[in-house]
Amino acid sequence: MQLADLNWPKIQALNKDIPVVFPIAAIEQHGGHLPLFTDSMLCGEIVRRVAERLGDRVLFAPLLWLGNSDHHLDFPGTVSAPPRTYLDVLGGLLENFIQHGFKRLVFLNGHGGNEVPGKQTVFEVRQHHRSRGDLLLLFATYWSLGGQPWEQEPSLQQRQMGHACEWETSMILRLAPNLVGPLEQLPEVPFGNAFEPATRGWITKDRTVPGHIGNPRLATAEKGEALFRVFSEDVVALLERVLRWNGKDWNG
Ligand SMILES: [Zn+2]
């Protein structure tokens, strides 16, 4: 069910235990070969597939295309809400829907730069409503839900999400091949190991000249379809858990 299609009396009449999903993504540079809207297109496609499966059991807000992309600002075209601004925007969305009476609120994320502010948002909003025992506030990034796409599609080389990489380029090839630039000349940009397991502050320029991280030359539309299938399945499984939650306990 799509929030944008309903009117307020219909929203008012909904059972407030329905999960509300806020898809969040970005508009930012994706190397010299993928469109700026890559993360929003990919997250939107996963939402489309998941919504088809779950029908009226879940309410989907429209995708928020503005994300925290400060690290990509050296590349033209990138648009970013700075992290503290973004934190307030996400917090405001949750507060709006808590005010409207909803209790199960889920961010479905499609951009790495949104992870820190998104997790901070669900933490802060929970503290703010500490007298409530009936709130479920979740933040989930679609490629981090446990799926191992290479088990479905053994030709996949990559084992983690990169940037405008084998995975993302494959999915855009599946969705909109006309928007994918020539891949033949693109160098492989290794993930590297920046003092792991410590977390290092970085800007994209620290890691890549062309803007991608990974090897886009490995991309195919068939791999893209396999990735969409695995990631959509993971999101459906998560939302089924949210639907099954008993409304009060820690375990879900
Ligand atoms: Zn991306």
pLDDT in tens, 124-176: 999 999 999 999 999 999 999 999 999 999 999 999 999 999 999 999 999 99
Return mean pLDDT, the chain: 97
pLDDT bracket for residue 252 (50, 70, 90): confident
Residue 64 alpha carbon to ligand 1 centre in Å: 14
Instruction: Give distance in angstroms: CA of 12 to centre of ligand 1.
Output: 36
- Tell how far the Cα of 172 is from the centroid of ligand 1, in angstroms: 10
**Mean local confidence (pLDDT), 40-67:** 98
Strand, coil or helix: 167 = helix
How many Å lie between the centroid of ligand 1 and the Cα of residue 158? 15
Task: Kindly give the distance from the C-alpha atom of residue 164 to the centroid of ligand 1, in angstroms, as a whole number.
Answer: 6
pLDDT at 193: 86
Cβ neighbour number for residue 159 with a 10 Å cutoff: 11
**pLDDT at position 209 over 90:** yes
Going from the Cα of 101 to the center of ligand 1, the distance in angstroms, rounded, reads: 33
The Å distance, Cα 69 to ligand 1 centre, comes to 10
Compute the distance from residue 28 Cα to the ligand 1 centre, in Å.
Answer: 8
Q: Which residue has the tokens 């409304």?
A: 247
* 85-91 average pLDDT score: 98
CA of residue 242 to ligand 1 center, whole Å: 26
Torsion angles phi and psi, residue 140, rounded to 5: -140, 130
Edge to edge, what strands does the sheet with 20-24 contain?
Answer: 59-60, 20-24, 104-109, 136-141
For residue 7, the CA-to-ligand 1 centroid distance in Å is 33
Q: What is the pLDDT of residue 194?
A: 81
Tell whether the torsion through CA atoms of 71, 36, 234 and 189 is positive or negative: negative
- The rounded Å distance from CA 162 to ligand 1 centre is 8
What does residue 168 show for φ and ψ, rounded to 5 degrees?
Answer: -65, -40
Residue 121 has pLDDT above 90, yes or no: yes
Q: How far is the CA of 229 from the centre of ligand 1 (A)?
A: 18
What's the whole-model pTM score? 0.97
Residue 213 pLDDT greater than 90, yes or no: yes
Using alpha carbons, list the distances in angstroms from residue 92 to 7, 86, 125, 165, 237: 21, 10, 9, 33, 27
Residues around the ion ligand 1 (C-beta < 5 A): 39
Average pLDDT, stretch 16-40? 98
Mean local confidence (pLDDT), 87-112: 98
At 14 the pLDDT is: 98
CA–centroid distance, 24 to ligand 1, in Å, is 12
Question: pLDDT band for position 205 (50/70/90)?
Answer: very high
- Expressed in angstroms and rounded, the spacing between residue 188 Cα and the centre of ligand 1 is 16
Q: What separation in Å is there between the alpha carbon of 30 and the centre of ligand 1?
A: 6
- Average pLDDT score over residue span 217-240: 98
